[in-house]
């Protein structure tokens, strides 16, 4: 369980190979927070970076030990695990998540806090004029649509990590012990009074996205299978429709063969077509079930989700 709140705002930032971005991030983030006039802390999780990121974080901790905390993972566990580790340790009343690559401008944080002050317990950002590749934009629009249809989560922009949460939501997330999780959606499911605000979006300050096509697919599988069993149900319904359809088709072929005396070869290839189609449906189904079984296995196994090598922090006064 995380510590009781001792500061007003906790900023949570996952860091993976961001040595080129961190200096600018520090230079822009701290002044914004200093100007808030609230007690704050910033928790960076170094998600197994292979570059100088951790050294930069160490130096930053030495420069601002009062407000800087660093969690160092022994290897790369992914953005959402990095955020989880920070959630388990936050001391703030309000928690804000943000990317390290400056795609979420730190200057937008006060906007989110205003909404929290107005009584909302979850403030999701959505990116105004999103600065990503054409492919990422359209792929994520598609995924948004699938998510809307399969889960009851309403989010304009699930990919935007600039979000603010009330402490009870973070405590609920930590208690849930979720694995393979997609934090914005999980938080939404615990929220009683959510809202959204438009936030600016900038191009990645430096470097390239850490998400490959493959890890994006994995993340979206997490999102959809983690929050609903609708895919399984759709699949079953689709399989039933296929069974009825192909059953009728076979019947028609048999009747034609029996009563209208067509040559034996006619229809054979159609049958092959039907057969291959049904086979691929079956394979898809096995894969889908496998996804759920795999996830169940991970939860049942209850293995430690990540390993923290070191934490740099000053004990609260």
Smallest distance, ligand UDP to C-beta of residue 136, A: 7
Residues 197-216 that bind ligand UDP (CB under 6 A): 209-211
Position of tokens 């049942």?
A: 300
Residue 134 neighbours by CB distance under 10 Å: 7
- Residue 93 vs 157, nearer CB to Mg ion: 157
How far is residue 166's CA from residue 9's CA, in Å, rounded to a whole number? Answer: 10
Phi-psi region for residue 194, left (φ > 0), alpha (ψ -120 to 50) or beta? beta
- Residue 45 vs 151, nearer CB to ligand UDP: 45
- Residue 82 vs 170, nearer CB to ligand UDP: 82
**Long-range contact set of residues 146-151: C-beta below 8 Å, sequence gap at least 24:** 146/220, 146/224, 147/185, 147/223, 147/224, 147/227, 149/230, 150/224, 150/227, 150/228, 150/230, 150/231, 150/234, 151/185, 151/223, 151/224, 151/227, 151/228, 151/230
Residue 10 contacts Mg ion per CB under 5 A: no
Stretch near ligand UDP under the rule CB under 6 A, chosen from 74-82, 85-93, 222-230, 278-286: 74-82
Strands (E), the chain: 7-15, 40-46, 68-73, 92-97, 122-127, 163-166, 194-199, 308-312
Residue 101 contacts Mg ion per CB under 5 A: yes
Per this entry, what is the length of the chain? 317
- Residue 86 vs 116, nearer CB to ligand UDP: 86
- Residue 15 vs 67, nearer CB to ligand UDP: 15
Residue 198 contacts residue 125 (beta carbons within 8 Å): yes
Residue 281 contacts residue 234 (beta carbons within 8 Å): no
Q: Which partner from the list Mg ion, ligand UDP, none does 82 bind, CB cut-off 5 to 8 Å by kind?
A: ligand UDP
Q: Which partner from the list ligand UDP, Mg ion, none does 109 bind, CB cut-off 5 to 8 Å by kind?
A: none
Contacting residue, 46, 49, 60, 103, with Mg ion by CB under 5 A:
103
- Chain center to CA of 35: 30
Contacting residue, 2, 10, 12, 14, with ligand UDP by CB under 6 A:
14
Residue 220 contacts ligand UDP per CB under 6 A: no
Q: Contact letters (x/-) for ligand UDP, 158-197, by CB under 6 A?
A: ----------------------------------------
Which spans of this chain sit near ligand UDP (rule: CB under 6 A)? 14-16, 18, 47, 76, 78-79, 82, 99-101, 103, 209-211
């Amino acid at each position: 369980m995380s510590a009781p709140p001792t500061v007003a705002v906790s900023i949570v930032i996952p860091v993976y190979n961001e040595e080129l971005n961190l200096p600018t991030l520090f230079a822009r983030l701290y002044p914004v927070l200093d100007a808030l006039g609230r007690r704050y802390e910033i928790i960076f999780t170094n998600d197994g970076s292979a570059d100088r990121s951790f050294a930069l974080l160490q130096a930053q901790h030495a420069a601002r030990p009062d407000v800087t905390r660093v969690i160092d993972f022994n290897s790369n566990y992914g953005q959402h695990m990095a955020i989880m580790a920070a959630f388990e340790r936050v001391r703030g009343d309000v928690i804000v998540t943000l990317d390290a690559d400056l795609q979420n401008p730190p200057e937008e944080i006060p906007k989110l806090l205003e909404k929290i002050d107005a009584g909302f317990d979850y403030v999701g950002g959505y990116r105004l004029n999103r600065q990503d590749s054409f492919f990422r934009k359209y792929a994520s629009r598609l995924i948004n649509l699938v998510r809307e249809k399969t889960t009851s989560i309403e989010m304009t922009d699930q990919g935007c990590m600039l979000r603010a949460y009330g402490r009870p939501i973070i405590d609920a997330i930590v208690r849930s012990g979720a694995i393979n999780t997609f934090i914005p959606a999980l938080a939404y499911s615990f929220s009683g009074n959510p809202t959204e605000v438009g936030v600016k979006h900038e191009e990645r300050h430096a470097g390239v996205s850490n998400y490959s096509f493959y890890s994006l697919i994995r993340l979206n599988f997490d999102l959809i299978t983690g929050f609903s069993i609708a895919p399984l149900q759709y699949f079953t319904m689709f399989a039933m429709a296929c069974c009825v359809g192909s059953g009728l088709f076979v019947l028609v072929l048999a009747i034609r063969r029996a009563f209208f005396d067509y040559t034996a070869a006619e229809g054979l290839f159609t049958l092959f077509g039907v057969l291959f189609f049904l086979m691929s449906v079956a394979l898809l189904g096995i894969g889908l079930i496998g996804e759920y079984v795999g996830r169940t296995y991970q939860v049942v196994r209850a293995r430690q989700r990540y390993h923290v090598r070191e934490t740099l922090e000053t004990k609260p006064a």
